[in-house]
Amino acid sequence: MTIPYRIANIPGDGATESVTATRGRKGDRPGLLRPARTAKPVKALACGAMSTPTGPANGLPVRMPRPRQPGRHRRPEPVVAPEGAPALVLAVPGVPSGTSRNLAEEVLSIARSELPGLDARIGFVDGDDEEFPALQSTLAQAAAEHTARAAALDAQAAADAEGENEDGAESSRPRLQDAPAAVVVPLLAGPDSAQMRRIRQAVLAGGSGAELTDVLGPHPLLAEGVHVRLSEAGLARADRARLFTVATAADGIILATMGGEEAVQAAGITGMLLAARLAVPVLAAGLDEDGSVSRVAEQLREAGSRQLALAPCLVGPEIPDGLLDSAAKEADCPTAEPLGSYTAVGKLVASAYAVKLGIAQRSPQGAPVR
């Protein structure tokens, strides 16, 4: 049976179409209408004018870009080093080598990206030639350049002040000579009294008036770096939020450091942050203390850990050759690589320099603990 029905007022046409339909065949659902073969095709819907970025057309809505929201979620403007700022001298401990020099250059490259315009240099604590310049000679060169630059700028400032102030009043511009010639940042993840004593002596012997910052840790970014090095060695999961397992993941971490009891205590703070990230026990031990690594390994095994891993909370150049491997054999466990030129190290170097000079810089933050 054929039933006519009408579809009226199709936009864009204005005409009324007549369409016939037939009831469904046997087996179809009750009340189902099928189009008849003789039904006229319905013309397609015609679209009106589309809206433009400048505004809607024909009353149609348009999604306009929202203005940038002010406040703390706004991306901060990049901070650059002030003109004539002191040089950053990275004090590299340990025996100089091509590996340590490349590592230091990579760290300074990261620091320059954090603080554009930064004058960054390398000084080796045990350096003695042009290939590996000693820290004292690097500071002496920075001081000579600083003095010459300060004299030129002060002369220019005096000339400008004489032209602007007819009464001969002294210019209020701060003199560059009042700033230190350099800021020395030790490439040390934690306190090391022996290394810091040598660095401080080099700073004082140079007579450059340079200022010395503290070491880089403890800091949440160091815990992040140790976590990354463990995951690269297959000794920890890279991300606890992802549901995957590592067959060789350690259930106990020995956080290795150097510098005596003070360094072990400081590494213990980083160890707590690392334990929160990995959800496994972490204990600090001193590589330069006889029996410290083996004692910590025994404590972890007595607490129930069966698969240990040695994780250095050290940058790398300060570790004597073979010491890390011998400690791993002593604890009978695999080891991860030192922090090296991990991004966090360069960020902390730039932050230490900025804090010493009072430069407003966004404080480096560690990754959130999952």
CATH 3.40.50.2000 at 87-163+176-217+347-357, yes or no: no
For residue 164, the Cα-to-chain-centroid distance in whole angstroms is 46
14 CB-side CA count, 13 A: 0
pLDDT higher than threshold 80 for residue 75: no
- What is the number of other CB atoms lying within 10 angstroms of the CB of residue 274? 27
Residue written as token pair 């490349």:
102
DSSP string, 137-198: HHHHHHHHHHHHHHHHHHHHHHHHHHHH-TT-PPP-SPPGGGS-SEEEEE--SS--HHHHHH
pLDDT number for residue 72:
57
- What is the number of other CB atoms lying within 10 angstroms of the CB of residue 192? 24
pLDDT number for residue 278:
93
Q: Find out whether 50 and 57 touch, Cβ atoms under 8 Å.
A: yes
Instruction: Return the H-helix or E-strand segment holding 2.
Output: strand 2-7
Topology of the domain covering 220-340:
Rossmann fold (3.40.50)
Residues 121 and 104: their CA atoms lie apart, in Å, by: 9
Q: What is the pLDDT of residues 182-233, one digit of tens each?
A: 999 999 999 999 999 999 999 998 777 899 999 999 999 999 999 999 999 9
Beta strands 211-212 and 252-257, pairing class: unpaired
Same fold, 87-163+176-217+347-357 and 220-340: yes
Q: Which of 60-69, 149-158, 319-328 has the largest mean confidence?
A: 319-328
- What is the number of other CB atoms lying within 10 angstroms of the CB of residue 76? 9
Overall average pLDDT of the 229-258 stretch: 82
pLDDT number for residue 340:
97
* 337 vs 6, residue with greater confidence: 337
Please enumerate in sequence order all residues whose Cβ is within 8 A of that of 289, keeping only pairs 6 or more positions apart, or say none: 260, 264
**H-assigned helices in the chain:** 98-114, 135-164, 193-206, 220-232, 261-278, 292-302, 323-331, 343-357
pLDDT number for residue 16:
46
Residue percentage of the chain with pLDDT more than 70: 68
Q: What is the pLDDT of residues 251-285, one digit of tens each?
A: 999 999 999 999 999 999 999 999 999 999 999 99
Overall average pLDDT of the 330-338 stretch: 97
* Domain boundary assignment for the chain: 2-35, 87-163+176-217+347-357, 220-340
Residues 220 and 190: their CA atoms lie apart, in Å, by: 13
Q: Is the dihedral of CA 237, 243, 244, 246 positive or negative?
A: positive
Q: What is the pLDDT of residues 28-50, one digit of tens each?
A: 555 555 555 554 554 544 444 45
pLDDT number for residue 67:
55
Secondary structure (3-state) at 85: coil
pLDDT number for residue 253:
97
pTM: predicted TM-score of the whole model, two decimal places: 0.73
* 102 vs 179, residue with greater confidence: 102
pLDDT number for residue 116:
93
pLDDT number for residue 241:
47
pLDDT number for residue 324:
96
> 243 pLDDT band (50/70/90 cuts)?
very low
